Chain A
């Protein structure tokens, strides 16, 4: 269980996140949505202790502030929005780095399985910097998967924390990655994913946390969060809302209103 209580983040002088409280359980995919600059990455980074924050965060019942890095590494794996890498590390080497940080450090066969899971089988010898943007993003996802390969580890459920994991992927890869996240949660892990694509969020997430200007504006199942007033306020455009019987809400942006109109 991940419990976030009264989380506030200030960067510089500006409050970026204000008083966000939410709880997500293992088995759930939680999509964090909102406009550009709403504070989604900041929320994730605060949970990852990359930003100083007020409030308390508990992961599997432990106060994060008192956990050491290697304890946390066995519990949660991260794919950041922007990745960088120095030197010519290969795909196989970074996936092994993930595995060695997790609780299945010695199960070397995981590397190939994780690469296959993101469709990069046989590519382990390639320099990460020469991959295409989407391949690199999937490579880092494979690294994260290898780190928490067993969704339920010796210390309880594990967590995948993904910042826009499908932002540079093609249509098919987006679905595959979301299926991986779904499968991870169905097997007992927890997933928090910052998402821009509301349709994918509605298809794969159990709940959406919707941020507007650093506030948690809505939290709940896709049906209840994806409502016209909230969306037009957040995105400043009109949205046509539909429902597909199989996957739930489905929406299409319609007209844009310029701010100040």
Chain B
């Protein structure tokens, strides 16, 4: 009865009418039995979160060290320690470490985080775990934006083109992603709920449309542009340089900083737009920011590394299984897991068929697509 007596202190009116345990005849036996078989997660969750945090951080650190020390050039852990302690490296090793592996690692970390977080944002927005930027056409839209910038960027007034510089492509990709997300939201969501079939079908239509438009543009491209395009569309971190990183970082960084602020709103949105509003969330504002940051993150990631699919689907799904759907933890955890997994995938992609490289998009699809099918089979379609 302690709960009741303390409730009397805080809310006299309610306490007087709170059920007396002695006369409490509910829930029915069947419902009680159902309750027993389920874990008392309230106790398990905090401890789980701490260990999950540690495990994810360890994953990112381990993936980073592996990614710096493995590869064609024989640059090992010992060399890495040398470099870290300020002792010199051979000029060749220095180039490998600082100009090839480090920018590639940094790009992998941030692109992985951006793709995973953008998946979380889209899923929260559409209230469905299947909304992945690749699947619903946001990546294709971003890709189209990037291609427009690559091919038609020369038509821009010189001043503007110079002012934007290397940010032009990520910005255009972000714009393309934003336009597709907006269109997708208009088509698939009517006030209260998202029609999943329509969302997925609209994703197909949008991918087809932007894919076709991209195809048309490749005909307009000259030889040099075509080479850029092919290289880019393979979806790889191979071309990562500090310059490219600097171009992609602002958009992805802004999205990653903004995303955690949307967490409480996205939680409330799971109850529907009207209830989220009654819980004090400015829903229009929330949707605008979620669409903007998902598009910025996807756009910059696509511009930097081409089409890397399924990170935004698999990472949030795994984390919801492990820690529940609370976006306040889901968003930072997704950033960590996305970063770690993409760096690992990149490591595999450049070592498994060495000295050649497997496009990383192939790897992520190889693991991601079966997860997607499995989610479909398990009734995940209904938002579960």
Contact A184 B27 (CB under 8 A): no
A97 in contact with B267 given A90-B324, A117-B7 (CB within 8 Å) = yes
Contact partners of A70 in chain B: CB under 8 A: 280-282
A88 in contact with B324 given A135-B27, A170-B26, A172-B26 (CB within 8 Å) = yes
Residue B224 at the chain A interface, CB threshold 8 Å = no
In the assembled complex, the Cα of A130 lies from the Cα of B270 at a distance in Å of 16
Contact partners of B192 in chain A: CB under 8 A: 84
- Which residue of the partner chain B has the closest CB to A147? B279
Contact A113 B42 (CB under 8 A): no
In the assembled complex, the Cα of A98 lies from the Cα of B278 at a distance in Å of 9
In the assembled complex, the Cα of A127 lies from the Cα of B384 at a distance in Å of 11
Residue A85 at the chain B interface, CB threshold 8 Å = yes
Contact B280 A173 (CB under 8 A): no
Residue A6 at the chain B interface, CB threshold 8 Å = no
Contact partners of B44 in chain A: CB under 8 A: 125
CB distance from B328 to the nearest CB of A (A): 10
In the assembled complex, the Cα of A76 lies from the Cα of B17 at a distance in Å of 20
Contact B13 A185 (CB under 8 A): yes
Q: Which of B27, B35, B193, B326 contacts A93 (CB under 8 A)?
A: B326
Contact A183 B16 (CB under 8 A): yes
A122 in contact with B35 given A84-B192, A97-B279 (CB within 8 Å) = yes
- Which residue of the partner chain A has the closest CB to B19? A119
Interface size on A, residues (CB 8 A): 70
Contact partners of A71 in chain B: CB under 8 A: 280
A116 in contact with B7 given A92-B42, A125-B41, A183-B16 (CB within 8 Å) = yes
CB distance from B202 to the nearest CB of A (A): 18
Task: Give the segment of A12-20, A186-194, A216-224, A240-248 that binds chain B.
Answer: A186-194
Residue A209 at the chain B interface, CB threshold 8 Å = no
Q: Which of B24, B268, B326 contacts A119 (CB under 8 A)?
A: B24
Task: Give the segment of A55-63, A174-182, A195-203, A252-260 that binds chain B.
Answer: A174-182
CB distance from A181 to the nearest CB of B (A): 9
Contact B13 A186 (CB under 8 A): yes
In the complex, the 4 A-B pairs of residues with the closest C-beta atoms, listed nearest first: A187-B13, A73-B280, A87-B325, A183-B17
Residue B55 at the chain A interface, CB threshold 8 Å = no
- Which residue of the partner chain A has the closest CB to B38? A126
Contact partners of A179 in chain B: CB under 8 A: 17
Contact A84 B26 (CB under 8 A): no
Contact partners of B69 in chain A: CB under 8 A: none
Q: Which of A76, A97, A117 contacts B271 (CB under 8 A)?
A: A97
Contact B268 A117 (CB under 8 A): no
Contact flags (1/0) for B72-116 with A, using CB distance below 8 Å? 000000000000000000000000000000000000000000000
In the assembled complex, the Cα of A173 lies from the Cα of B211 at a distance in Å of 57
- Which residue of the partner chain A has the closest CB to B194? A86
29 pairs of residues in contact across A and B, judged by CB atoms under 8 Å: A48-B278, A49-B277, A50-B277, A70-B280, A72-B278, A76-B278, A84-B271, A85-B271, A86-B383, A87-B127, A87-B270, A88-B320, A89-B326, A97-B271, A113-B6, A117-B17, A117-B19, A119-B24, A119-B26, A121-B3, A124-B42, A126-B35, A130-B38, A145-B14, A176-B17, A180-B18, A183-B16, A183-B17, A188-B13
Contact B275 A80 (CB under 8 A): yes
- Which residue of the partner chain B has the closest CB to A76? B278
Residue of B4, B6, B17, B281 with highest tally of chain A CB at under 10 A = B17
In the assembled complex, the Cα of A121 lies from the Cα of B129 at a distance in Å of 30
Residue B39 at the chain A interface, CB threshold 8 Å = yes
- Which residue of the partner chain B has the closest CB to A111? B42
Residue A101 at the chain B interface, CB threshold 8 Å = yes
A84 in contact with B281 given A93-B326, A107-B10, A122-B35 (CB within 8 Å) = no
Contact A100 B35 (CB under 8 A): no
- Which residue of the partner chain B has the closest CB to A178? B17
In the assembled complex, the Cα of A68 lies from the Cα of B31 at a distance in Å of 40
- Which residue of the partner chain A has the closest CB to B274? A50
In the assembled complex, the Cα of A124 lies from the Cα of B31 at a distance in Å of 14
Contact A180 B14 (CB under 8 A): yes
Contact partners of B383 in chain A: CB under 8 A: 86-87
Contact partners of B270 in chain A: CB under 8 A: 85-87, 89
Contact B325 A88 (CB under 8 A): yes
In the assembled complex, the Cα of A185 lies from the Cα of B16 at a distance in Å of 12
Residue B11 at the chain A interface, CB threshold 8 Å = yes
Contact partners of B31 in chain A: CB under 8 A: 132, 135
Contact B271 A123 (CB under 8 A): no
CB distance from A82 to the nearest CB of B (A): 9
In the assembled complex, the Cα of A92 lies from the Cα of B275 at a distance in Å of 17
Residue A129 at the chain B interface, CB threshold 8 Å = yes
- Which residue of the partner chain B has the closest CB to A161? B278
CB distance from A152 to the nearest CB of B (A): 9
Question: In chain A, residues 138-188, which have Cβ atoms closer than 8 Å to a Cβ of chain B?
Answer: 145, 147, 149-151, 170, 172-173, 176, 179-180, 182-188
Residue of A76, A89, A110, A189 with highest tally of chain B CB at under 10 A = A89
Contact partners of B4 in chain A: CB under 8 A: 116
Residue A77 at the chain B interface, CB threshold 8 Å = yes
In the assembled complex, the Cα of A132 lies from the Cα of B78 at a distance in Å of 60
